[in-house]
A and B are shown apart, each in its own frame.
Chain A
């Protein structure tokens, strides 16, 4: 690696050193309390997957270039030069971490591995060695934000084709639009994913609840966050903020996507609208009697996988359980309690990398399979696109014989007139 590249990368490193990051980098005593926290280590048993080991890969470079003893006494902290090989190590650490932050619940200090891994991810972006597909997907999202007019017509046409499926799930009154778009003054802006399964059930439920809603032109998922690029993350986020502000909506409702929800909820800053997950909105409809669901629709035991970014990192625990109480009398909670829920193994962009990560995702999520099977449930519900895709893969790979369902689809399928 030439000096210029290294200097540029170190500038990127420096840009990540805010107060919290310094806390995280300066504090770890390598006590090893986090050893059993990571699902990858618990499933595969290799030391390189322990949270503190991952931290140290980044921390050694920090010690080398940002601490005096990197020069005066480099061996004491085993500080390490930033080289091509170091980048490879950073890649392995960052893209085997799903950012689930389970280790944060173990650490006596609460060190956030996802934050430390975001340095690794940014360095990889700077060196052009990040997973290319994630950057491409992020750039596509940004491009869509810039030239919406080009996409608009095709998008609206696509929606027209979906409307009949929405109506099939919930009959509308004559003259009502099944999927409203660009409605100024709507109460809710619903941000979905690029896929019918994320739009049809949600639309049916909004219509059943007689909600004054409008569908966003943009997809919720933030590939900028997956690839760890703060600039792209912000640009992708801003498209939705701008749309919500333009339409003067009261609430932005994020579809079943953990990263999208957390990024919008926690990184949007102070805005004139509320941010909620679709699970929260659905629980509210049931509580207010705006929708009613038929409990006999699913008569097999159900368990629920808490998506890390929505539950442990986003605070939405009670709402999915409230919904499930209305969907079944046989809900089986996973053990241990939700804050300790094992990650599905698909976060941090791993599912988006598809086949490339499939083998690793299957091996690294063995503990998730065991946790799920221990409930004896036959239906595995969740509220995140990534989790759903990963759990589906696990179901097939481990021949779990379960039915993996989106919570919103289950509600839509069980809708009855209120």
Chain B
């Protein structure tokens, strides 16, 4: 079992990050080196400044707000949660003073953020169970949503245990030792990481995160990078 834990927590993490970084970079380079469309693809009437409206469209999803308000609500909740969770993970490496503008223990939101992301994902999955979104869905959509749902659930579970139930065996310091050791290519697995009651949670969480990172460059999650340029095309 410890060998499997080690494989997931060390070599697989490196492989996943390598695939994610190299894959995403190569795909983006390929896309951006392809010649642009020779004519405008703009929609009128236009509003200026175009780049500001493109940013507005990219980050506030105004068209979804107008046509699918409930979906918009969960999309906003999910994407904001994701942003906060990324900050939380960065804080597992170092204390960034800038993030302490709002004083908090590591992982903003006292466990609520993960819960919100989880509920949003449940909504995204359930709305695909019925027509007409059901007919639009391909297996990849379920695969990614279920992957994310489990990823968030296992990750949040560790946060909830610490924050809500005072589970103290696996501490922020343990995560930090593990993560920074990976960063410096001197992998070190503290005892608590692999032998505490929540090691299993951590290993599953990291395993799912690895899968997600490996699939990222080849999936529609690339919209994280393409949403802005594509919206700019519409704004002209």
Q: Are A313 and B43 in contact (CB under 8 A)?
A: yes
Q: Is B218's CB under 8 angstroms from A52's CB?
A: no
Residues of A within 8 A of B39 (CB): 266-267
B138 surroundings in chain A (CB, below 8 A): 30, 56, 76-78
Q: Give the chain B neighbours of A24 by CB distance below 8 A.
A: 230
B48 beta carbon closer than 8 Å to chain A: no
- In the assembled complex, how far is the CB of residue A191 from the closest CB belonging to chain B, in whole angstroms? 18
B168 close to A (CB within 8 Å): no
In the assembled complex, B32 has its CB within 8 A of some CB on chain A:
yes
Q: Using known A-B contacts A19-B31, A339-B44, determine if residue A30 contacts B141 with beta carbons closer than 8 Å.
A: yes
Q: Fill in one digit per residue for B208-236: 1 if any A CB lies within 8 Å of its CB, else 0.
A: 00000000001010110011011101110
Return chain A residues, CB-CB under 8 Å to B136: 30, 32, 47, 50, 52-53, 56
Question: How far in angstroms is the closest Cβ of chain A from B164?
Answer: 32
Among B138-162, those with CB < 8 Å from A are 138-141, 143
Mostly, the A contact residues are: loop
- Would you call A109 and B45 a contact (CB within 8 A)? no
- B95 interfacial contact with A, CB 8 Å: no
A29 to B219, CA, bound (A): 9
Contact at A18–B220, with CB atoms within 8 Å? no
The residues in B between 3 and 55 inclusive whose CB is less than 8 angstroms from any CB of A are: 31-32, 34-46
Interchain CA distance A77-B139 in the complex, whole Å: 6
A76 to B34, Cβ gap below 8 A?
no
A367 to chain B, nearest CB (A): 15
Distance of A246 from chain B, by nearest CB (Å): 24
Q: Is residue B71 within 8 Å, beta carbon to beta carbon, of the partner chain?
A: yes
Q: In the complex, A312→B223 CA distance in Å?
A: 25
When distances are taken between beta carbons in the complex, the residues of chain B under 8 Å from A313 are 43-44
The answer to whether A104 and B133 have CB atoms under 8 Å apart is: no
Are the CB atoms of A30 and B137 closer together than 8 Å? Answer: yes
Is the pair B229, A23 in contact by a Cβ cutoff of 8 Å?
A: yes
Partner of A47, one of B32, B45, B63, B132: B132
Residues of B near A67 (CB, < 8 A) are: 218
- The range of chain B's interface size is 35 or more
Task: Pick the interface stretch among A82-90, A110-118, A165-173, A181-189.
Answer: A110-118
B82 nearest CB across to chain A (Å): 14
Given contacts A50-B132, A339-B45, whether A76 and B140 have CB atoms under 8 Å apart is: yes
A33 in contact with B45 given A18-B36, A18-B37, A267-B39 (CB within 8 Å): no
Pair A110/B43 contact, Cβ less than 8 Å: yes
Closest A residue to B45 using CB positions? A317
Q: Are B223 and A29 in contact (CB under 8 A)?
A: yes
Contact call B132/A22, Cβ cutoff below 8 A: no
Q: Which of B40, B43, B71, B223 contacts A33 (CB 8 A)?
A: B71
Query: B residues within 8 A CB of A17?
Result: 34
Contact A109 B231 (CB under 8 A): yes
In the complex, the answer to whether B41 meets A108 with C-beta atoms within 8 Å is no
**Contact A110 B57, beta carbon cutoff 8 Å:** yes
Task: Give A26 to B136 CA distance when docked, in angstroms.
Answer: 15
Nearest CB of chain A from residue B212's CB, rounded to whole Å: 14
Residue B64 at the A interface, CB < 8 A? yes
Contacts of A106 in B (CB 8 A): 63, 67
Return the contact of A101 from the options B35, B37, B43, B68 (Cβ within 8 A): B43
Q: Which residues of A contact B137 (CB under 8 A)?
A: 30
Expressed in whole angstroms, the Cα–Cα distance for A107 and B143 within the complex equals: 22
Interface set, chain A 19-71, CB cutoff 8 A to B: 19-24, 26-33, 35-37, 47, 50, 52-53, 56, 67-69
A264 CB to nearest B CB, Å: 11
B96 proximal to A (CB < 8 A)? no
Q: Which residue of A lies closest to B232 (CB)?
A: A110
B167: CB under 8 A from chain A?
Answer: no
Q: Which residues of B contact A53 (CB under 8 A)?
A: 135-136
Minimal beta-carbon separation of A57 from chain B (angstroms): 11
B2 CB within 8 Å of chain A: no
Query: In the complex, how many angstroms separate the beta carbon of A60 from the nearest chain B beta carbon?
Result: 8
CB distance from B93 to the nearest CB of A (A): 30
Contact of A30 with B230 in the complex, beta carbons under 8 Å: no
Which of B32, B41, B44, B127 is within 8 Å of A312, CB to CB? B44
Cβ 8 A contact of B223, one of A27, A115, A315, A339: A27
Seen from chain A, the residues whose Cβ lies within 8 Å of a Cβ on chain B are: 17-24, 26-33, 35-37, 47, 50, 52-53, 56, 67-69, 75-78, 101, 104-112, 115, 266-267, 269, 311-315, 317, 339
A sample of 29 cross-chain residue pairs with beta-carbon separation below 8 angstroms, ordered by A number, consists of A17-B34, A19-B32, A20-B37, A20-B230, A20-B233, A21-B37, A23-B233, A26-B223, A27-B222, A29-B223, A30-B133, A30-B136, A32-B68, A33-B64, A35-B133, A52-B136, A68-B218, A76-B140, A77-B139, A78-B138, A101-B43, A108-B57, A109-B230, A109-B231, A110-B43, A110-B230, A112-B41, A267-B39, A315-B45
Given contacts A20-B36, A77-B139, A78-B139, 4 further A-B contacts (CB under 8 A): A19-B34, A20-B37, A24-B230, A76-B140
Closest 10 CB pairs of A and B: A110-B234, A315-B44, A20-B37, A32-B133, A47-B135, A266-B39, A23-B230, A19-B34, A30-B136, A78-B138
